[in-house]
Chains A and B, each alone.
Chain A
Amino acid sequence: MLDLKNVSLTYSNGSKPVQALRGIDMKIEKGRSYAVIGPSGCGKTSLIYIMAGLMAPTQGEVLLHGEKLVKPERGTALILQEYGLLSWKTVWENAALGLVLRKVPEREIKEILERVFEELALTECIDRYPKQLSGGQKQRVALARALSLHPDILLMDEPLSALDALTREYMQKVIFNLLKRHQITCVLVTHSIEEAVYLGQEIIIFTACPGKICAKIANPAQGAEDYRDQLSFHEKCTEVRASLEVHSQSEE
């Protein structure tokens, strides 16, 4: 559904141009989940912005459902590392924002959000402001805002990196269940090898300077309930780690 063809991106606003991405080819297929992993500064955030239609590549093209992507599209939801919650809106107002901007009638917003809040166990936080929430709760509000829009594709940029280990594992499970239940197509950027293996049916490995895809690792066993406890999970993690190490060494 989302095709990136030979996408390159150069930032030229600084004193000297920085090439963030070079020659990226990616095919995002409906209902599948992709984990993008790579060293810091390799252009993962830039890639997500391009996929979301927030930035145009300087070269190549991005096609959504076969049409050129020029602006944020309705079916795409984005979750950023700092959650993108607005501190001046309550949890409810934050989660409702996407629907409000789409001029959905209030009664319908209420119905949709009540269901989503139930699913994400957020009901008792409705009237709070973001600063009254824990990191995990904030992340669930961001998820609620995205899910309320019934997205075809969910783009997440290191959504869990600000969480402690336990909350993080819990949230991985939350995301895992959501993806499975709603059959959402998903691109997840992460720093964590375990997270990539747990959530990504395909793991895409980037190298830095400029960001390029250096390997795509299939992860067919992903999706099993207790995958994290299986031997194949750990073998896959080792494979991804080895690939990351090989490619970061060859850069030096």
Chain B
Amino acid sequence: MKNSYLKNDKFLTYSSAIVIFFLAWELLALLLQNPALPRPIPALVSFFNVLPEGLWKHFLVSTYRVLTSLLLGLALAVPLGLYIGRNAKLDKWLSPQIYLLYPVPKIALLPVIFAIFNIGDLSKVILIVLIIFFQILIITRDAAKNIPDSTILSVLSLGATSREIYSHVIIPGCLPEIFTAVRISLGTAISVLFFAESFATFEGLGYFIFEAWSRINYPEMFAGIIAISLQGFVLFILVNLLQRVICPWLFK
């Protein structure tokens, strides 16, 4: 009963978000009366025109880069975060290093990354991973730290090994926060990618937008912007669906 109510509600809230987004855009465009901000209808028309002509390819390339970076970032940061979070001694030594490295502007390291990994896809992925790594690491570490000792002790008393403590207690206990980390770093990854795609590539939504901009083709530029929003929107919805499958207890 509660669930079906929620589902209808969800469709309503998501579709009204889209409607409000376009209404606000329309209003702003009407007020500004500037070609740099086209009205949504021409932008949408342009979006559906350029989509089959190659925008879809840029969309896929960007999505591929975002997802690769996200998976790589998770694969590196989650295990480390869980481990540091449950090791007070290690945490004492590593946390200062993390706090030192976290604020370093990774984008400024781009020339270094290019020098090591060349200008291709890999360097874009590495840049994103460097940035989201710390977000995921810190969120996961704190989640692991916050698991009550008494929970772990009660499972230890059942005869669990330390590996079983990870698989039965620490990993599932941190999953909700790991999903938070995924949502946050997804947003970060998309905006960093946009920047990274603005040069040294001929593919991706960032490239598409900057290229349209250089031709002062604002409707096409906004077609690219719509594509990026859509990308984020769809990915966020997918993450939520995935969380429903992986963490069913949160939705009871």
Binding site for B on A (CB under 8 A): 49, 52-54, 72, 74, 76-82, 84, 86-90, 97-98, 101-102, 128-129, 131-132, 145, 149
Is A97 within 8 A of B153, CB to CB? Answer: no
Q: Which of B125-175 contact A (CB under 8 A)?
A: 148, 150-151, 153-160, 164, 168-169, 172-173, 175
Q: Which of B155, B159, B168 counts the most A-chain CB atoms under 10 A from its CB?
A: B159
Enumerate B34-52 residues with CB–CB distance to A below 8 Å.
Answer: none
**Interface pair A88/B156, CB less than 8 Å apart:** no
Task: Check if A101 sits within 8 Å of B159, measured CB to CB.
Answer: yes
Inter-chain CA distance A101–B161, complex, in Å, is 9
Q: B247–A84 contact, CB under 8 A?
A: no
Q: Does A101 lie within 8 Å of B164, measured CB to CB?
A: yes
In the assembled complex, the Cα of A132 lies from the Cα of B249 at a distance in Å of 10
**Does residue B7 face the partner (Cβ distance < 8 Å to A)?**
no
Contact partner of B158 among A81, A88, A132, A149, CB < 8 A?
A149
**Contact present for B173 and A97 (CB under 8 Å):** no
Distance, CA A72 to CA B157, complexed state (A): 5
Contact B153 A54 (CB under 8 A): yes
Q: How long is the Cα–Cα vector from A149 to B154 in the complex, in angstroms?
A: 14
Residues of A contacting B169 with CB < 8 Å?
Answer: 86
- By the criterion CB–CB under 8 Å, are B175 and A88 in contact? yes
| In the assembled complex, B215 has its CB within 8 A of some CB on chain A | no
A-chain residues with CB within 8 Å of residue B159 when the two chains form the complex: 72, 74, 98, 101-102
CA distance A112 to B25 in the complex (A): 63
A88–B172 contact, CB under 8 A?
A: yes
In the complex, chain B residues whose CB is within 8 Å of the CB of A79: 154
B148 CB to nearest chain A CB (Å): 7
Contact partners of B92 in chain A: CB under 8 A: none
- B252–A132 contact, CB under 8 A? yes
Q: Are A54 and B173 in contact, with the CB atoms below 8 A?
A: no
Cβ of B173 and Cβ of A88 under 8 Å apart? yes
Q: Would B155 and A84 count as touching, CB distance under 8 A?
A: yes
Interface residues on B, range: 20 to 34
CB neighbours of A88 from chain B (8 A): 172-173, 175, 247, 249
Q: State A81–B150 Cα separation when bound (angstroms).
A: 9
* CB proximity of A64 to chain B, nearest CB, Å: 13
**Residue among A72, A77, A90, A145 making CB contact with B156, cutoff 8 Å:** A72
* Cβ-Cβ contact count across A and B, 8 Å cutoff: 67
Query: Contact check: which of B150, B173, B252 meets A131 at CB < 8 Å?
Result: B252
Cβ-closest chain A residue relative to B158: A98
Given A82-B148, A89-B249, A131-B249, 9 extra CB contacts under 8 A = A52-B153, A53-B157, A76-B157, A84-B155, A86-B151, A97-B155, A97-B158, A101-B168, A129-B252
B252 and A78: CB pair below 8 A?
no
Chain A residues whose CB sits within 8 angstroms of the CB of B153 once the complex forms: 49, 52, 54, 78, 80, 84
Q: Bound state CA distance, A243 and B94, in angstroms?
A: 51
Q: For the complex, give the distance between the alpha carbons of A78 and B160 in Å.
A: 13
In the A-B complex, the 4 residue pairs with the closest CB atoms: A84-B154, A78-B157, A98-B158, A88-B172
Q: Which residues of B contact A132 (CB under 8 A)?
A: 252
Contact B173 A82 (CB under 8 A): no
A87 to B251 CA separation, bound complex (whole angstroms): 12
Residues of B within 8 A of A128 (CB): 252
| B168 nearest CB across to chain A (Å) | 7
B252: chain A residues within 8 A (beta carbon): 128-129, 131-132
Residues in B with CB closer than 8 Å to A145 are 158
B157 to chain A minimum Cβ distance, whole angstroms, is 4
A87 CB to nearest B CB, Å: 6
When distances are taken between beta carbons in the complex, the residues of chain A under 8 Å from B150 are 80-82, 84
In the complex, residue of chain B having the shortest beta-carbon distance to the beta carbon of A98:
B158
A87 — which chain B residues lie within 8 A by C-beta?
173, 249
Residues of chain B within 8 A of A72, CB atoms compared: 156-159
**Among B160, B173, B175, contact of A101 (Cβ-Cβ < 8 Å):** B160
Q: Give Cα A81 to B153, complex, Å.
A: 12
Residue of B nearest to A87 (CB): B249
Q: How far is the CA of A40 from the CA of B128 in the complex (A)?
A: 51
